[in-house]
Structure 1
Amino acid sequence: MSLTVDGIEAPAEGTLLDAVLAAGIGLPHLCTDDNLAAIGACRTCLVEADGRIVAACSAPASQFHQVATRGAVVERIRRGVLELTAAMVSPGSLDRPGGPHAGELAAALASHSARLDRYPHRTRTRSDATNTFFSFHEEACILCGRCVAACQELQHIGAIGMAGRGGATRVTPGADATFADSICTSCGSCVAACPTPALSPREAFAP
C-alpha cells in the first residue's frame, strides 16, 4: 500500500511523518526524535491528510491516501505553531552552541518565514552548569520532552522530568536538585536529543 505526499508516492508504513521523510520532504518535528517514540506535544509537524489537519508524527500512514505538507492553510497553521514555540525562548538564546540537533527550531522558523516577535517572549533565566559534561539553559527550552524521553527510553534512568503546570512547567533533574546532585550518569543522550541549545556540551567537550 502507498500514499502520495505532495504528489510523491511514499510507503504507507509507520506514521505520516515516516512517509513524509521517506519521500524526501522536510517537515519540522521538534518533539520527535528518530530514536524515540513519538511524543506528539509540539504540533509542528502538522500536515493536511485527506482534507484534515493532523499531526504527522502520530497519525498512522495506512489510514490516509493523499498528504500535503504545502498549501496556504497548513503552512499558515504550522507557522503560527512555530511562532508560539519561539515565544517560549528568550531572544538570542537560540544562537548559543548546543548538541547535534540544537539548530532544529531555528531551521524550522527560518524555513517557514516565522516572525520571532509576534508574541511576547517568556523570561526564564534558570541555568544549571553543575554537570562536568553539559549545561542546561532554561531560556532556550521549549518543553518538547525529548530529553526526558531519551533519559527514560534509551538509558532507563529517569534523571530528568517535568515539574509544574501550565506556564510554570519546567524541565528539572528533581525537586530543588541540580544535575550534579541527581542520578544523571552524564551519558549525553539528553544533549544529543535536544532540538535547541537548552542542553549544551560544556565548551571543553564541544566539537
Structure 2
Amino acid sequence: MKVDGRPAPESASILDAVLALGIHLPHLCKDDNLPPIGACRTCLVEADGRVVAACHTPAAGVSEVLTNSGRVVRLRREVLRLTSRMHGPEPDVAGGPRSGEIWAAYEEHGLERPTFPRRIRDGFDATSPFFEFEEQACILCARCVTACQQLQHIGAIGIAGTATAARVTPGAGATFAGSICTACGSCVAACPTHALRPKPMRDPARAGRYRRQGNGTEDG
C-alpha cells in the first residue's frame, strides 16, 4: 500500500499506516491507546477511490491511499465545520493533555472559529475532587466513554439519549461524585477538547505534578 505516493509499513488500519509515516490526520474520536470508535469522521481519506474513515478501514487489500486530495480535504473541512457547532469557544482554562487536538484540526483545515450557530448545553459538573466537566465543550466523540469502559473497565460514564438530546453523563440526574467514578483521570486524558479537564489546584506544585502525570493521580 502507498499513502500519498509513499510506501506504507504493514499496519492493521489505514490510520495506523498514515500515522506511522508521520502524516498528520485528524482523528478526534480515536485515542492512540484505545480501539476505534468511528464516530467523528474527521479521518476521512480516499482508499482506492473510495472515501472511508481511516480508523475503521483495514489496510489489507488497499493499494493506494490519498490523505490530501481535494475531495477528502473538502469533506473533512465540512465535517469539522459541523463539529464546531457542538461546542462553545475555548474558555480561559487549562484543558486536558489532548485538548489542543480539535483546535489544531480547525487551523489545518482553514477554520479559525466555529462557523455554524452553536447548540448550547450548559451542564457543568465540578463534584469530582480531581476534574470538572463542561458539557458545552463536549463533541460526543465518546473517547471518555471508551476509556472508562474498555481501558479501566469501570463504566462510570456513558452517552444517554439520541440525536440532539444525546449527552455524556455518569447517569440520569447523577454527578461524578455520586457515581461509581474512581477519579482515575482516564477520561480527562482521552478528551480532545476542554470538556473534561483537571480541576485547578491551589498549590502550583501539586497542579504541575497532576498535569504531568495526566491520569487523575499525583506522583509521590
Q: TM-score, normalised by structure 1?
A: 0.95
Aligned match for 1:100, one of 94, 97, 104: 97
Which moves more between the two structures, 110-119 or 195-204? 110-119
Runs of 4+ in 1 over 6 A off after TM superposition: none
- What is the alpha-carbon distance in structure 2 between the residues aligned to residue 88 and residue 56 of structure 1? 23
Say which of 88, 106, 111 aligns to 1:109.
106
How far the C-alpha of 1:165 sits from its partner, in A, is 1.1
Give, in whole Å, the separation in 2 of the partners of 1:130 and 1:118: 32
Report the residue type matching 1:186 in the other structure.
A
Give the aligned partner of residue 139 of structure 1.
136
Q: Does 1:35 align with 2:52?
A: no
Query: Which string of whole-angstrom CA distances, capped at 9 and with x for unpartnered residues, describes residues 24-68 of structure 1?
Result: 100000000111110001000000111110000000001211101
Number of aligned positions between the proteins: 204
* 2:57 pairs with 1:75: no
Relative to structure 1, the CA distance from residue 130 to residue 80 in structure 2 (aligned partners, 3 Å threshold; closer, same or farther) is: same
Q: How far did residue 114 of structure 1 move?
A: 2.1
Give the share of equivalent positions with the same residue, in percent.
60
> How has the CA–CA distance of structure 1 residues 97 and 161 changed in structure 2, closer, same or farther, with 3 Å as cutoff?
same
**Partner deviation per Cα, 1:94-125 (whole Å, 9 max, x = no partner):** x5311111111011011111253432111111
- The answer to whether structure 1 residue 165 and structure 2 residue 162 are counterparts is yes
The alignment yields a C-alpha RMSD, in angstroms, of: 1.2
Counterpart check, 1:123 vs 2:91:
no
Q: Distance in 2 between matches of 1:178 and 1:75?
A: 39
SS of the aligned residue for 1:63 comes to: coil
Tell me, yes or no, if the aligned pair for 2:85 and 2:119 is still in contact at 8 Å. yes
User: 1:71 Cα shift?
Assistant: 1.5
Instruction: Tell me the residue number matched to 2:198.
Output: 201
SS in structure 2 at match of 1:203: coil
Corresponding letter in the other structure for 1:174: G
Aligned residue identity for 1:39: I
Q: Is the 8 A contact 1:91 1:121 kept in 2?
A: no
- State the alpha-carbon separation in 1 of the partners of residues 187 and 18 from structure 2: 25
Return the letter of the residue paired with 2:194: P
* Aligned residues of 1:4 and 1:65 also touching (Cα < 8 A): yes
Q: Tell me if the contact between 1:83 and 1:118 (Cα under 8 Å) persists in the aligned partners.
A: yes
The answer (yes or no) to whether the contact 2:84–2:115 under 8 Å persists in 1 is: no
CA distance in 1, matches of 2:84, 2:27: 14
Conserved 8 A contact 1:128-1:137: yes
Amino acid of the residue matched to residue 15 of structure 1? S
**Structure 2 residues without counterparts, runs of 5 or longer:** 202-206, 212-220
5+ residue gaps, structure 1: none
